[in-house]
Structure 1
Amino acid sequence: MWDVGGIRAVTVWSSRLLKRGLVAVMPGFIGPDMGFLLKPWAAFKKFTDKEIEVIAQKLSKKREKKKEKKDPLIRCSSCKNVITSVESVISVAGQHRHTFKNPAGIYYEIGCFSSAKGCFNMGEPTLEYTWFPGYTWCYSVCSKCFIHLGWFYQSNGSHFYGLILNRLTSAVSR
């Protein structure tokens, strides 16, 4: 605060409307030059802060709902590459989760998925030792670290992935 010819000048700081405004003030009197703005400005500022808070709460709730709706990603447990999503979970032969034993005696618990964009399919499709009658299979590996994640099954235009659940993070069940 400083004196200007007997009138005190006050710098009013505002982060929203006015960066710097000079208000002429005499003892007990706010001059007509800017004083008329102070009361409406205070009311506007309070209203705006409250309104901004309400809008922020609404946006926060919308973000939370989107997060709930957003399908969590399912990743390779070895390298964390995105393999598929919960949205791709399907049932084959009446269930999503299956347990099978291969000819070498190794048990696998697999989950069925309609797509697995993070997989790379390799090998010639074969009907030999198939776990799903009528479906040929080939190996599916992670497209980043090439670890064996499961198998790609196909038959007459339909297809799905049987992925080894303990080699995925966020493995799901139905």
Structure 2
Amino acid sequence: MIVIVKQLPAFKAAVLPAIAEFNVMGREVRKAWHQVDKAMPAHHPNRANAHSGIVFIPQWEARVEGKPVLYAGVEINTLEDVPNYLEVIEIPVRTYATIRVQGDREHMWSTYRQLDEWIANSAEYRLADDQGSLGFEVNDLQVNPFDIPWDTINEFNYEIHKAIVKK
């Protein structure tokens, strides 16, 4: 597994929050995803990439009523034709530590650990943890992971992007 440092361009996403305790977060992310996908389906003219779904992860302690929050959504081209019940996130140009997850659940957790260790041991970078810093996971929808219940899914294929800054 190789960590790649890269600068990604700015983009916008239409999202809904998923707010839950960790043990049920996967289920809540899937509920949010299905609502976003219904509002902005693959054929929607404002959806930037019909073949990906994104989960955004606040890199600071983001909580609502004491529960962690994630955001499920899709990249959009413009702010036009976004239903008013969806939130819009604007991601600025940033540097990210990126790694691909492709394998079973144990491989997924191992990949997260490897990325976290790489960031912790980097002489040049640290995790961007200021309020507003978002990491994100770009999920390939060729086999839609959001259609598979979190407690049974065991095959993962996505990229993790964690926002980093120079030390």
Q: What's the TM-score once normalised by structure 2's chain length?
A: 0.23
Task: State the structure with more CA Rg.
Answer: 1
- Which gives a bigger RCO, structure 1 or 2 (Cα 8 Å, sep 6+)? 2
